[in-house]
């Protein structure tokens, strides 16, 4: 070929330019080779991470929440497997028909699905805790960008019967109230994780390794007896309905161990369906609400006076006329009896008698007695919101306040505190610790009053449930019962409401060797009766009688029918 014939082919580059071009090409190759060595040799983890991010995922493995059972192993709270549907919005692709089917399955308006998908580009929950069969039908829609996780939902077989004591968990299976919240760390366990390989559709094609094994939560055995709980709840509901009351509460304690065997509240709710809830339904009134206990406090003042040698059960108290004045205030009794013995002060629930006994005692000693039985201090129960009540320093007491405190005015307690305080009369003067969990070892209480004093008070409390006392409706066929009524005006706007009452009864049985202590409170009965002996005592009788038979406690009284007094004929308390 003749290169000279063509001026283009005849053109020759200078030698230095060709060499420079060759050097630039060689330098480029060296840079690329160095980068390759750097990335594949020194930064291999970076490339590996980028590669794995295309196909590898780390999934959380949920830990199964521990069961809650009653003292006999009956399940009270269990976790059932459910699914959650979530999405990566930027990857979601569905037709209008798929969108409509998805909305119908998730029971959500289509616009709500669109709204959630627009909340984020990377991750969003569409619906949590749906049944597995619904989740399977969602999978069959084959919508790209839609995924599912396995979760657990808490189920409560007892429903509304144990709602306030068990509480409930939220969407993340974390305790929100009650036992579920109080023992969250025990029940929850620890989630695990595993690494998997997913295809481009998001389906798991290989399980490569377990990063951290899940640790399931521990089971919890409560002191509650499910059968006794059902009995207490049903009788409380009957009383609240019959008396058209605003609310009610009951607690059953093992007199020997302090275990909470039953605890019920009204109004209540179904923890398996919490779509309609109010604050009143959620409140565990036994533990978190306080009230003025009324005459149920009289035995503590009398016990202190006997312990200090001020009186004996047969000491005469001048109550003639049924009233006494302290400054500008006057204390009344419902009935005008002649002078009473100390035992009759308890039997007939005399405010004047209790006030006179109280004023014979140092105020500091009365405060000590109330403090020792747990008033003014929240019980150590590991339960959220446990109330301590109100017990003002004795140095600020005026004589009228010391007198009225003897019959439960000017002091507030929870029903649980009141029930626990009565364990001193059941256990030879020992105050028993409380427990929501089953106790398998012997329990030692704290000595508050002498054993002999406790026996004397128990005998007086037996008189209170006999004819001539304030609570003959608390009696039980075949068992000796000891207990005390309480009726108090409700506090309202800094004073006392004229026609609003709290009726209560606290008692123990069998009186010869107490096995149970039961406290009942009926809030604002409005069907005509409002005295503790007429409203709360019958609940005690029904629950205590059923419980003793359920526990196989031998009778300690004749198995003879009891004649109930006519309605309205009981000894009343002037409140």
pLDDT at residue 233, as a whole number: 98
Extract the tokens encoding 324: 């006494």
> Whole-angstrom Cα distance, residue 292 to residue 303?
20
Mapped to the 3 state alphabet, what secondary structure does 467-485 carry? CCCCCHHHCECCECCEEEE
> Whole-angstrom Cα distance, residue 266 to residue 373?
27
| Sequence-separated (6 or more) residues with CB below 8 Å from residue 520 | 236, 239, 248, 249, 250, 504, 505, 506, 536, 537, 539, 540, 543
Mark whether 295 is an active-site residue: yes
- H/E element, 388: none
DSSP strand pairing (340-341 vs 316-317): antiparallel
Mean pLDDT of the chain: 87
Q: Is there a contact between 173 and 65 (Cβ–Cβ < 8 Å)?
A: yes
pLDDT at residue 284, as a whole number: 93
Q: Could you tell me what percentage of the chain is helix, strand and coil, using 3-state DSSP and rounding each to the nearest 5?
A: 35, 25, 40
Q: Is there a contact between 96 and 175 (Cβ–Cβ < 8 Å)?
A: no
* Tens digits of residue pLDDT in 408-449: 999 999 999 999 999 999 999 999 999 999 999 999 999 999
Between the CA of residue 205 and those of 56, 57, 194, what are the distances in Å?
10, 11, 13
Q: Is there a contact between 301 and 354 (Cβ–Cβ < 8 Å)?
A: yes
Please state the separation of Cα 338 from the chain's center in Å.
48
How would you write the pLDDT of the chain (575 residues) with one tens digit per residue?
Answer: 555 556 655 556 577 777 788 888 888 888 888 777 776 766 666 666 655 555 555 556 667 889 999 999 999 999 888 888 888 887 788 888 888 888 888 888 888 888 888 887 677 888 888 888 888 888 888 888 888 877 788 899 999 999 999 999 987 788 999 999 999 999 987 776 566 555 555 555 445 555 666 688 899 999 999 999 999 999 999 999 999 999 999 999 999 999 999 999 999 999 988 877 777 888 899 999 999 999 999 999 999 999 999 999 999 999 877 888 898 888 988 878 878 999 999 999 999 999 999 999 999 999 999 999 999 999 988 898 999 999 999 999 999 999 999 999 999 999 999 999 999 999 999 999 999 999 999 999 999 999 999 999 999 999 999 998 999 999 999 999 999 999 998 888 778 888 899 999 999 999 999 999 999 999 999 988 999 999 999 999 999 999 999 999 999 998 888 877 776 556 777 66
Domains detected in the chain: 58-159+187-221 (3.90.1310.10), 226-269+280-550 (3.40.710.10)
Q: pTM to 2 decimals?
A: 0.83
> Whole-angstrom Cα distance, residue 175 to residue 401?
42
| Sequence-separated (6 or more) residues with CB below 8 Å from residue 300 | 369, 370, 373, 421
Q: What are phi and psi of 297, to 5 degrees?
A: -90, -10
Extract the tokens encoding 490: 């409700």
Task: Indicate which residue of 295, 350, 504, 541 is catalytic.
Answer: 295
Extract the tokens encoding 549: 């038979």
């Amino acid at each position: 070929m003749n290169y000279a014939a063509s001026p283009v082919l005849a053109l020759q580059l200078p030698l230095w330019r060709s060499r420079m071009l060759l050097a630039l090409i060689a330098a480029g190759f060296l840079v690329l080779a160095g980068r390759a060595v750097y990335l594949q040799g020194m930064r291999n983890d970076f490339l590996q991470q980028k590669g794995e991010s295309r196909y590898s995922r780390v999934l959380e493995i949920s830990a199964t929440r521990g069961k809650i059972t009653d003292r006999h192993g009956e399940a009270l709270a269990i976790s059932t497997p459910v699914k959650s549907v979530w999405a990566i919005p930027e990857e979601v692709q569905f037709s209008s028909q798929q969108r409509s089917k998805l909305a119908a399955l998730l029971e959500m308006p289509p616009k709500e699905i669109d709204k959630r998908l627009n909340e984020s580009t990377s991750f969003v929950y569409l619906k949590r805790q749906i049944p597995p069969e619904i989740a399977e039908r969602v999978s069959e829609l084959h919508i790209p960008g839609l995924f599912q996780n396995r979760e657990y939902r808490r189920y409560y077989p007892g429903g509304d019967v144990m709602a306030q004591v068990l509480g409930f968990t939220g969407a993340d299976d974390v305790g929100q109230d009650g036992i579920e919240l109080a023992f969250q760390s025990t029940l929850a366990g620890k989630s695990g994780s595993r690494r998997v390989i997913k295809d481009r559709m998001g389906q798991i094609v290989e399980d490569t390794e377990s990063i951290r094994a899940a640790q399931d939560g521990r089971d919890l055995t409560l002191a509650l007896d499910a059968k006794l709980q059902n009995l207490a709840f049903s009788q409380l509901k009957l009383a609240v309905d019959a008396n058209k009351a605003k609310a009610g509460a009951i607690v059953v304690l093992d007199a020997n161990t302090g275990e909470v065997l039953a605890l019920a509240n009204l109004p209540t709710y179904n923890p398996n369906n919490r779509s309609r809830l109010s604050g009143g339904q959620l409140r565990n009134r036994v533990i978190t609400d306080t009230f003025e206990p009324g005459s149920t406090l009289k035995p503590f003042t009398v016990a202190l006076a006997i312990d200090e040698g001020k009186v004996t059960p047969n000491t005469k108290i001048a109550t003639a006329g049924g009233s006494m004045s302290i400054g500008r205030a006057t204390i009344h009794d419902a009935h005008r009896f002649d002078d009473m013995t100390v035992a009759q002060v308890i039997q007939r629930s005399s405010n004047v008698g209790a006030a006179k006994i109280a004023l014979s005692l140092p105020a500091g000693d009365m405060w000590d007695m109330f403090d020792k039985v747990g008033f003014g201090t929240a019980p150590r129960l590991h339960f959220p919101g446990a109330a301590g009540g109100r017990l003002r320093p004795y140095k600020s007491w005026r004589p009228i306040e010391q007198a009225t405190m003897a019959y439960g005015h000017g002091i507030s307690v929870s029903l649980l505190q009141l029930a626990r305080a009565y364990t001193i009369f059941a256990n030879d003067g020992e105050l028993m610790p409380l427990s929501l969990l089953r106790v398998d070892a012997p329990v030692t209480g704290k000595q508050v009053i002498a054993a002999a004093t406790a026996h004397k008070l128990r005998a007086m409390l037996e008189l209170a449930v006999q004819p001539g006392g304030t609570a003959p409706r608390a009696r039980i066929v075949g068992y000796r019962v000891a207990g005390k009524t309480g009726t108090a005006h409700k506090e309202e706007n800094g004073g006392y409401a004229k026609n609003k009452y709290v009726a209560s009864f606290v008692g123990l049985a069998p009186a010869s060797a107490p096995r149970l202590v039961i406290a009942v409170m009926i809030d604002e009965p409005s069907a005509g009766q409002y005295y503790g002996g007429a409203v709360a005592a019958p609940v005690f009788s029904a629950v205590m009688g059923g419980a003793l038979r359920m526990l196989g406690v031998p009778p300690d009284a004749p198995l003879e029918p009891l004649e109930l007094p006519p309605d309205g004929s009981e000894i009343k308390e002037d409140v």
